[in-house]
């Protein structure tokens, strides 16, 4: 379904991956990806980012994210399968993926746009969620209007068109005792 976001083009596929398959992917990705606790410099201080990450892609896909340059880990069997699904849902190709593991409600991602130069002008980004359903918030850069969508276990969200130009997005912290969530964002770097 197309989400009713002005100035954006976002499609949501709530049940793109059947629940039993999604359970398997969640456990396999959690166990097999080389998760890292990355640190960023913020006003001269080193701060742990509030989640674990793993960057994968074609060998030439170095990526700079929040001032971090990451070398790609190789594609795994599971990541390649999920990439193929995202390519058929979106009609776009991807050469890289950022995996984020939100261990509990204290893990989060602050508002940002995926607007790095390497992604090009109107990037197509496919975002796949496993595990805990959490609210994904879009905030319009000019009107400040916010839109909240809960991303299901096994769902795919495709952000395209001018979405990154007009919106920031993020995952808020919560004090509720919640389970872990893994999100994969497939991207096409222009090299």
Ligand X SMILES: O=C(O)CCC(=O)C(=O)O
- Residues near ligand X, by CB under 6 A: 98, 100, 109, 114, 127, 136, 169, 171, 183, 185
* Cα distances (angstroms) measured from residue 142 to each of 7, 122, 145, 146, 186: 11, 18, 8, 11, 27
User: Among ligand X, Mn ion, none, what does residue 55 contact (CB within 5–8 Å per kind)?
Assistant: none
Residue 88 structure tokens: 């058929």
User: Among Mn ion, ligand X, none, what does residue 100 contact (CB within 5–8 Å per kind)?
Assistant: ligand X
Q: How far is the CB of 49 from Mn ion (least distance, A)?
A: 13
Residue 176 structure tokens: 């509720």
Binding site for Mn ion (CB under 5 A): 114
In this structure, how many other beta carbons lie within 10 angstroms of the beta carbon of residue 164?
24
CA angle 176, 177, 178 (to 5 degrees): 100
Q: Which residue is nearest to ligand X (CB)?
A: 183
Q: How far is the CB of 30 from ligand X (least distance, A)?
A: 15
Q: How far is the CB of 184 from ligand X (least distance, A)?
A: 8
Choice between 95 and 100, CB closer to ligand X:
100
Q: Give Cα 158 distance to the centre of its chain.
A: 10
């Amino acid at each position: 379904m197309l989400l009713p976001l002005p100035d954006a083009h976002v499609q949501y596929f709530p049940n793109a991956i059947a629940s039993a398959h999604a359970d398997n992917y969640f456990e396999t990705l959690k166990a097999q990806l080389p998760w890292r606790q990355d640190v960023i410099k913020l006003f001269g201080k080193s701060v742990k980012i509030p989640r674990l990450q793993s960057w994968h892609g074609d060998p030439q896909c170095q990526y700079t994210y929040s001032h971090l340059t990451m070398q790609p880990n190789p594609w795994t069997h599971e990541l390649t399968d999920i990439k193929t699904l995202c390519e058929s849902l979106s009609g776009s190709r991807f050469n890289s993926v950022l995996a984020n593991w939100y261990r509990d409600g204290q893990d989060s991602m602050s508002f940002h746009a995926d607007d790095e130069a390497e992604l090009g002008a109107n990037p197509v980004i496919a975002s796949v969620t496993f595990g805990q359903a959490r609210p994904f918030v879009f905030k319009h850069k000019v009107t400040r209007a916010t839109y909240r969508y809960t991303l299901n276990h096994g769902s795919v969200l495709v952000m395209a068109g001018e979405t990154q130009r007009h919106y920031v997005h993020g995952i808020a912290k919560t004090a509720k005792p919640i389970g872990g969530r893994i999100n994969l964002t497939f991207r096409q770097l222009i090299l």
